[in-house]
Each structure stands twice: as C-alpha cells, then as structure tokens.
Amino acid sequence: MNLTSAKQHIFIIGSVWVEPKSSAAGSRMLQLIELFLTQGWEITFGTTSKKNANSLDLIELGVKEVSLKLNDESFDHAICKLSPSIVVFDRFMTEEQFGWRVMEQCPGALRILDTEDLHCLRKTRHEALKKGIVFSEELLLSSEIAKREIAAMYRCDFSLIISTYELQLLEQTFNLDTDLMYHLPFLYPKIDQEKEQLWKSFKEREHFISIGNFLHAPNTDATIQLKKHIWPQIRAKLPEAELHIYGAYPTQQVLEFNNEKEGFYVHGFIEDANEVIEKSRILLAPLRFGAGIKGKLTDAMYNGTPSVTTTIGTEGMHEELEWNGFVEDDPCQFVEKTIQLYSEQDIWERAQQNGVKIINSLYDKQKLDKAFVSHITHIQSNLKAFRKKNFIGSLFQHHTLQSTKYMSKWIEEKQRNQSIGGT
C-alpha cells in the first residue's frame, strides 16, 4: 500500500479545546490540524475539557469534535468506532490518561506525542527561581514530572519536539533515542517581498508591546518584571512612549498594573494579535524561565517587529542566525538596548531583516510540512520493526500502564457503583 497517498484518520486527544487566539500552544495545535487537513486526511478532535468563548469551532474547518470522559469505558467504544490510523496526544498528561486505552483498542495506530514544550524543564526552572537557587541538570533529573514526561515519550512511537535546545537536552541529558524524537517548530509561510512592503515603516510605528497568555506563569512573571523594574527606566528616557500589555486570562494583579500616567496599559485578550504587533515598534519579553520556543517572538518576526528578550526567550529558536533585536538578561542592559533599538532606525531595520532570515530559514511551513508527512508515512510502513527497537518503551507499557490501567478501572467501577447507589 502506498501510504503517502493513503487516506489517514487522525484522532487528536487534546488537553483543552483549541484556542489559537489565546496562546502559542493553541496556535501550534491549529498549525498541526491545518497541516493534516492539507493532506486530505480526516481529523477527529476530542478532549475532556469544556469549551469557552475563546475556543475555536473546529467543525467549521471540517474537523469532527467529540467530548471525552476520564476513567470511562465510553472512550474505548468511541476509539474503536473511529479506528484511527494515527493518534496524537496533546502533551504528556493526555498520554498518561488515555495511552493504555489507545494501545489496547487500536494497537496498530501510530502514537505521536506533541510535547508543546518540555513541561519538566519549564517547571523545574520556575521552582529554582522561586527558591533562589541555580537551575541545574541535577534538579531536572530528580524531578518527578521529568520522569513522567520522559516515560510518556518512550510509550509513544515518537514525540514532536519544538525546540532545538530541548532536542539536545533530551538526547544528551536523558539519553533518549533520537528515533523517538522529531523536531517540528512553528510553521509559517515564507515572508516574501510583497508581505514586507505591507509592513509599516520605522517612523509609522510607535510604542512597545508585550503579549502572552496569563495562565502561563512565565508571562505573568515577565509582566511583573516590566512593571516593577524595566518599564520605569524606559519611561524615564522615553517619556512619550507607551507599553501595551495583551494576553488572555489576565490575573487581578496584572489588571491593576494598568496606569495611564505611567504609560502602562493592560488590555487583556486581543482578537487579532498580529494587528497590534504590526503597529508596534518593539516587542518586549523579559522572560526569566520557560521552555519550548516563544510564539510571541516568532509572531513579532512575522510582522516585522524587532524584539528585546532574554537568553531563555531565544533558546532553541534561531540557531546561529543573528537575533531580530537584542538578547539581554541583565535588567539595566535590557533597558539600554531597548532604548537604542527604539531610537536608532538603522539598527531597527537590520533587526527586522534578521527576523525575516530566521522565519524563512527555520520556520518554512512548506518545507517542514513535507518532511513531517514523509516521516509519518515512513514509520507507518515499518511500524513493527520500529517498535521492536524501542524495548524500554515496551517495558513502560507493560509495567507503568498496568498500574495506570487498573487504577482507572477501579475509579470507573467506583463511579458506576455510586451511580447505581444514587438511583
């Protein structure tokens, strides 16, 4: 059978409903869905979470939607009926919840874990920052969440890794076989001359922007850094400048940062992030911890907006290419470089062109899509042999999932008995 032309049925098990306007994770999932749709593949998306006003209507895209229940045999019936050729787990938690059921009911389906970012890396860095200690690989290796996340990777046929830094970390620190990983960053159409000509010029742009979902702890922390330490210094040198903060689900603390006299404006959720990014002269992202790659920074490049960020911000994002702005971890240097970038047109324009090179070299949707589809079909054509090489994965399937399975069965039976007793 020619798998390249074969009709595929993708079942995506989401941690939440897709919210591309709320977070980079939502945009990433939409990119994957669009990639599969362009192949003419059938897609079903299911999750245990509830929809809200920011959830995308996937049915309009031609994607089937199903609501899932935890610890419930209805999932078994649903997946048997769907009979997918590929199952995509959205983050390792969904693999823990449903992986054993997928393996039992559809053993022939290709199992892909979309990590989004390494949760263990982000959370361990956050804990180190809160405790005032230096992050180290020893801390990461002793993390419980790292053990869970790596185990989920072994149980899948391969995992999508978004950052080159994380790819290296998994190989060198966790000794994960490279066959179990596939590097797939964000996917953007190439920036051509026609798109560049539509961008506002240096003189047509004004003010600063910072953007990010506030359910994501690194974004809240970055906003606090801007408010307390960075923006007051910038504002003192650029008294007419304004900083506009956007992002879904702002906390009360962040909302109270809004201060017109300081030129610090908190707007919350924005319907079209590209519109406000494209009007701004510079994007600020003083991230002190995190993981993966940052959608706000690639979005800035795609809209011709230079940025000032930290080492954490640029990690795994640009290889040896020059950044589209400045990278500074020291707050005083961060301020100095921000003022320079905002004030000097020639430096700003060079930074903008650096962003074009990064997007076109590393995030080329057409090239990345083609390679990923080829990788999927290659593994499917040799799936039995491929799985035989992953003996550690089979061990995790046998031992770890047996305990998960029987705990889930126990909860399922308990819920059934409670339901009978209630009636």
User: What is the domain-level CATH number for residue 331?
Assistant: 3.40.50.2000
Confidence of residue 96 (pLDDT cuts 50, 70, 90): very high
Give the pLDDT band of residue 1 (cuts 50, 70, 90): very low
Q: How far, in Å, CA of 100 to CA of 104, rounded?
A: 6
pLDDT, residue 299, reads: 98
Distance CA 84, CA 35 (A): 17
Cα(289)–Cα(260) distance, integer angstroms: 29
Strand, helix or coil for residue 248: coil
Binned at pLDDT 50, 70 and 90, residue 173 comes out as very high
In a domain, residue 326? The reply is yes
> CB pairs under 8 A, 24+ apart, for 273-276?
273/21, 273/211, 273/246, 273/299, 274/299, 274/302, 274/303, 276/209, 276/211, 276/244, 276/246
pLDDT tens by residue, 299-336: 999 999 999 999 999 999 999 999 999 999 999 999 99
Least confident of 120-134, 147-161, 271-285, 393-407: 393-407
49, 15 contact by CB (below 8 A): yes
Length of the chain: 423
- Among 324, 326, 285, 330, residue whose Cα is nearest residue 305: 324
Tokens of 88: 């995509």
Q: Is residue 352's pLDDT more than 90? A: yes
**Domain shared by 103 and 226, yes or no:** no
Residue 2's pLDDT is what?
37
State mean pLDDT over 370-381. 97
Q: Same domain, yes or no, for 322 and 223?
A: yes
In contact, 305 and 331? CB cutoff 8 Å:
no
Residues 234 and 144 in one domain: no
**Lowest mean pLDDT, pick from 177-181, 225-229, 387-391:** 387-391
Other beta carbons less than 10 A from residue 391's beta carbon:
9
Phi, psi of 392 (to 5 degrees): -60, -40
Element (H, E) at 144: helix 144-155
Please give the residue range of the domain that contains residue 91: 9-187+365-422
Q: What is the mean pLDDT of residues 83-108?
A: 95
Q: What is the pLDDT of residues 32-47, one digit of tens each?
A: 999 999 999 999 999 9
Q: Which of 362, 387, 408 is at the close of a domain?
A: 362
| pLDDT for the residue 3 | 41
Residues 96 and 55 in one domain: yes
389 has pLDDT over 60: yes
CA–CA separation, 149 vs 113, rounded Å? 10
Whether 3 is in a domain gets the answer no
Please give the pLDDT value at position 411: 59
User: Do 93 and 65 sit in the same domain of this protein?
Assistant: yes
Residue recorded with tokens 């000032």: 308
Is residue 2 a part of any domain in this protein?
Answer: no
Do the domain assignments include residue 71? yes
**45 and 132 both lie in a single domain:** yes
At residue 394, the pLDDT reads 79
Question: Residue 99's closest CA among 140, 145, 148, 64?
Answer: 148
> Which residues are 64's β-sheet partners?
44
- pLDDT (tens digit per residue) in 199-250: 999 999 999 999 999 999 999 999 999 999 999 999 999 999 999 999 999 9
> Could you tell me if 99 and 203 lie in one domain?
no
The answer on 91 and 208 residing in a single domain is no
Regarding whether 274 and 332 lie in a shared domain, the answer is yes
Question: pLDDT at position 420, please?
Answer: 56
Answer yes or no: is 4 within a domain.
Answer: no
Domain count, the chain: 2
Q: Which of 323, 344, 362 is the last residue of a domain?
A: 362
Q: Which of these three, 347, 362, 377, is where a domain ends?
A: 362
Q: Quick one: 280 and 388 in the same domain?
A: no
Task: Give yes or no: residues 38 and 181 share one domain.
Answer: yes
Considering the domain architecture, whether residues 162 and 251 belong to the same structural domain is answered as no
* pLDDT, averaged across the chain: 93
pLDDT band for position 271 (cuts 50, 70, 90): very high
Identify the pLDDT of residue 94: 96
pLDDT at 72: 87
Percent with pLDDT over 90 in the chain:
89
Spatial CA neighbour of 343 closest among 281, 284, 262: 281
Per-residue confidence (pLDDT) for residue 290, from 0 to 100: 96
355: confidence class by pLDDT, cuts 50, 70, 90: very high
Residue 313's nearest CA partner among 335, 298, 333, 332 is 298
